[in-house]
Amino acid sequence: MKRPVLTLSAVCMAALGSAVGGGTAHAGPDAPCTYTLSPPEVSGDTVSSTAVIAGCGAAAGPYSAVACIQPLVKDSVIQCSQARGADPATISVPYHPGTTYIATGRGCAAWALQPASPPCQILGPFTATL
């Protein structure tokens, strides 16, 4: 007699679990602001990339922008620059002809003057051999 009760309990718990936690996953909200990132560009003896705010939705404003460049050479490291508010973030590294550079970044927004509000917009990667 105990066996049917345990089976019925297990079936009820499984049904309850799927009703409560078995929903469909949805993508998170879009970032409240839109940022752009320039591909790696040569200017004189440097290569640079800039992350800049392109616009924000209602009740949102720019919080920060980050631009990064990594030359694809042995022992290279990624270098980044961060800017606050609506200021553009520009990173520059020494130019070496024939080197491949990867530019990445992110832009973060704030809702109604609050600290950074996820999600931040991931920018790039842009790859260029210069």
pLDDT of residue 24: 56
- Find out whether 111 and 59 touch, Cβ atoms under 8 Å: yes
Q: Does 53 reside within a domain?
A: yes
CATH classification of the domain holding 110: 2.60.40.10
- Strand positions, DSSP E, the chain: 33-37, 41-43, 46-56, 60-71, 79-84, 89-94, 100-111, 116-129
Which residues lie closer than 8 Å to 100 by C-beta, 6 or more apart? 71, 72, 127, 128, 129, 130
pLDDT tens readout for residues 1-49? 555 444 444 444 444 444 444 445 555 566 789 999 999 999 999 999 9
Could you give the number of structural domains in the chain?
1
Q: Does 43 reside within a domain?
A: yes
pLDDT tens readout for residues 75-125? 999 999 999 999 999 999 999 999 999 999 999 999 876 777 778 999 999
Q: Does 56 reside within a domain?
A: yes
Q: Does 92 reside within a domain?
A: yes
pLDDT of residue 67: 99
* pTM of this structure: 0.76
Q: Does 11 reside within a domain?
A: no
Q: Does 90 reside within a domain?
A: yes
Residue type, 49: S
pLDDT of residue 118: 78
**Which is higher by pLDDT, 69 or 27?**
69
Domain holding 77, by residue range, is 33-129
Q: Does 119 reside within a domain?
A: yes
Q: Does 24 reside within a domain?
A: no
CA dist 80 and 49 (Å) reads 10
